[in-house]
Amino acid sequence: MSPTDPLLTLSGVSRKYGSPPTTALVDVSFTVDAGEMVAITGPSGSGKSTLLNLIGTLDRASEGEITIAGHLVSEASDAKLSALRAHLIGFVFQQYHLEDAQTATDNVATGLLYTGMPLKERRERARKALERVGLGDRADHTPRQLSGGQRQRVAIARAVVGDPPLLLADEPTGALDTRSGAQVVEILKDLNRTGTTVLVITHDRELAAGFRRQISIRDGVLESDIRQQEEGVA
């Protein structure tokens, strides 16, 4: 991958399930450059989450090609895809998936579990990641001692503790109140400003309006791809 190549390329990507086949995505093509922040919008059932699973290599396309940081996904073994996810992609979901019995630090440190890094170093990196999301003073708290917004920030810290170039967030504010949701979006924008490419899946049009680029999916088809240059957008 050369510095001028897109970080992510989708070319004619379709996904069908079952027999007879149900089509979830149809001939979707777009590129995302390193450093972009993109909202992928659409109503429930439009294919947004299917798209995220394909980009995140959690699922494979029925047709078409996906390339991430120069790696052609369709040609990669399952073991190679696991390695790609571990080193290139961070995930944030609507549900936080935190271990209640572990501190915030140890929850974040699990994001480095497969790196072979010693526990002490994993915890040091975890504390730095928590500082990045404004939770340095909550490092020793368990999830039960944190608000919903704080738990989502722990989940974001876990996603970026290994410094992946690509962060995928699926409805990251869906379970939060307006204030907490706004704080989470601001953290994602801060991460983007420091170099992380961020893709956010959302059905919230108001949230998406704050992003410089908005890709709209409807009935599995790419409906629009809009870039804005106005002030005040990410």
**How do residues 171-184 score in pLDDT, each as one tens digit?**
998 888 888 888 88
Cα–chain center distance at 106: 21
The type of residue at 183 is: Q
Contact (CB, 8 A) for 159 and 86: no
How confident is residue 30, by pLDDT bands cut at 50, 70 and 90?
very high
Tokens, residue 208: 């998406």
Least confident of 25-29, 64-68, 112-116, 162-166: 112-116
What span, in angstroms and rounded, lies between the C-alpha atoms of 189 and 213?
A: 13
CA distances from 117 to 86, 113, 167, 174, 233 (A): 13, 7, 21, 33, 38
Token pair of 52 as six digits: 């995220």
Question: For residue range 64-74, what is the model confidence (pLDDT) as tens digits?
Answer: 999 999 999 99
For the chain, what is the mean pLDDT?
Answer: 92
Q: Is residue 3 included in any domain, yes or no? A: no
One DSSP character per residue, 135-149 reads -GGGTT--GGGS-HH
Number of domains into which the chain is organized: 1
Contact in structure between 38 and 199 (CB atoms under 8 Å)? yes
- Alpha carbons 114 and 105: distance in angstroms, whole number: 16
Tell me the pLDDT band of 1, cut-offs 50, 70 and 90.
low
Residue 90 · residue 166 · CB < 8 Å: yes
- Domain of residue 177 covers 8-227
Task: For residue 74, tell me if it sits in a domain.
Answer: yes
Residue 232: inside a domain, yes or no?
A: no
In contact, 14 and 25? CB cutoff 8 Å? yes
Tell me whether residue 1 is in a domain. Answer: no
| pLDDT the model gives residue 47 | 94
Strand pairing class (197-202; 166-170): parallel
| Contact assessment for residue 119 and residue 109, using Cβ atoms and an 8 Å cutoff | yes
- Residue 2 in any domain: the answer is no
Scan for tokens 């936080």, then name that residue.
96
The answer to the question of residue 111 being in a domain is yes
- Residue 168 in contact with residue 89, Cβ under 8 Å? yes
Helix, strand, coil: what percent of the chain each, to 5? Answer: 35, 25, 35
Is residue 54 within 8 Å of residue 36, measured between CB atoms? no
What CATH number has the domain bearing residue 213? 3.40.50.300
Looking at per-residue pLDDT, the higher value among 71 and 228 belongs to: 71
CA 55 to chain centre: 9
Domain assignment present for 116: yes
**Helix 148-160 vs helix 178-193: angle between axes, to the nearest 10 degrees?**
20
Q: For residue 169, is it within any domain? A: yes
What pTM, to 2 d.p., does this model score? 0.91
Classified as helix, coil or strand, 202 is strand
